[in-house]
Amino acid sequence: MLPKFFRTYKNKQFTFIPRFYNQQKEELEARIKKVEREVQGGTSEEYSGNIIRGSFRQAHRQRSSANRNSSLRIVIIIAILLLLIYFLFTL
């Protein structure tokens, strides 16, 4: 069988399902949630996050200690490998 030099490929077909966005429905749902929060005694603010004083400092300490631990672990592994290589080549 001879190869085809002028091969025509079929178009690639995708199974794309478009989504419908209804702005009025989204606004209505947002207003309903806002009213429900007010009725339950909550505030009408959009964002009610919990930021505890010192949480950024504590998170930074945890990240830095994790980095130190991983660095120490890497140094120990390299030292062990160097000792193994030394013993293999001296025997």
Give the DSSP H/E element, type plus range, for residue 77: helix 55-90
pTM above threshold 0.75: no
Rounded to whole angstroms, how far apart are CA atoms 87 and 36? 72
Tens-of-pLDDT digits for all 91 residues of the chain? 556 667 777 888 888 887 888 889 989 999 999 899 888 876 555 555 566 767 788 888 888 888 888 889 999 999 999 999 999 998 8
CA dihedral 80, 81, 87, 88 (to 10 degrees): 150
| Phi, psi (degrees; rounded to nearest 5) at 82 | -65, -40
Return the DSSP state at 43: -
